[in-house]
Amino acid sequence: MEHRLPKAVVDYLIQAGPEKETPKAFPENTYFLINTLPDSCIYGKEEAEKMGIPAVILTSFLEGEARDVGSVLASVAREIQIYGNPVKAPCVLLASGEAATKIEDNRTICGHGGPGQEEVLGFALAAAKIPGACLLSIDSEGTDGTTSAAGGIADSTSAAAALEKGVDIHGALRGHASFEALEALGDTVFTGNTGTNLCDFNVLYIPGNSEV
């Protein structure tokens, strides 16, 4: 490969230290930062409150294995609905960040998907215990993982609907085929290219017991 590049380029790549890795200043350019990571949650909170629904920003630093993140969000929703901690239902929880999907062996892949879609499937497995709870998880740029879907949505009835339609949620998670599972349920979400990227955006609605 080296012989195909100019010697000056090869020498620079081999010899340059951290001080030359990236430009440090652009004195003749002007940049505008339009949005930052917390903004999706901030605007989501404003819209929820306009609708009369109390909203809480849970975090702008959401991380972890996607399916586990979905399970944890379900446990938070259950605590809220049953005991009113840390906020009383009905309410909306908002979270942004970057959940991930770890693939140990490519040979296990039997479909398509992405972190947002795996997150809602993880949520669906636990959500039956939280009547009326619903989670939307999307990649803010409009494409989640290896799919054209922005993400997915699941609620307290999703696991039962999957069982009725013969959709194996556990198998879909093992085989990283969350897209196919959600498509079969009609629960994929498409936004198209949004022209921005503020990582993942999650909206979790928890109704009060009296509403379900």
Among positive and negative, which fits the CA dihedral 43, 183, 107, 74? positive
Which residue did the predictor score with more confidence, 29 or 141? 141
This prediction has a pTM of: 0.83
Q: What is the pLDDT of residue 163?
A: 97
Nearest alpha-carbon partner for 57 in 68, 46, 71:
46
- How far is the C-alpha of 100 from the C-alpha of 65, rounded, in Å? 5
What tokens does 117 get? 């879609």
Query: What average pLDDT score do residues 82-103 get?
Result: 94
Q: Is residue 195 part of a domain?
A: yes
Q: Which domain holds residue 54?
A: 36-211
Question: Is residue 191's pLDDT more than 70?
Answer: yes
CATH of the domain at 94: 3.40.1480.10
Question: Is residue 1's pLDDT more than 70?
Answer: no
Q: Is residue 11 part of a domain?
A: no
Q: What is the pLDDT of residue 62?
A: 95
- 151-171 pLDDT, tens per residue? 999 999 999 999 999 999 999
Q: Is residue 12 part of a domain?
A: no
The domain tally of the chain equals: 1
Integer CA distances (angstroms), 33 to 24, 196, 198, in order: 17, 12, 12
- How far is the C-alpha of 63 from the C-alpha of 86, rounded, in Å? 20
Q: Is residue 153 part of a domain?
A: yes
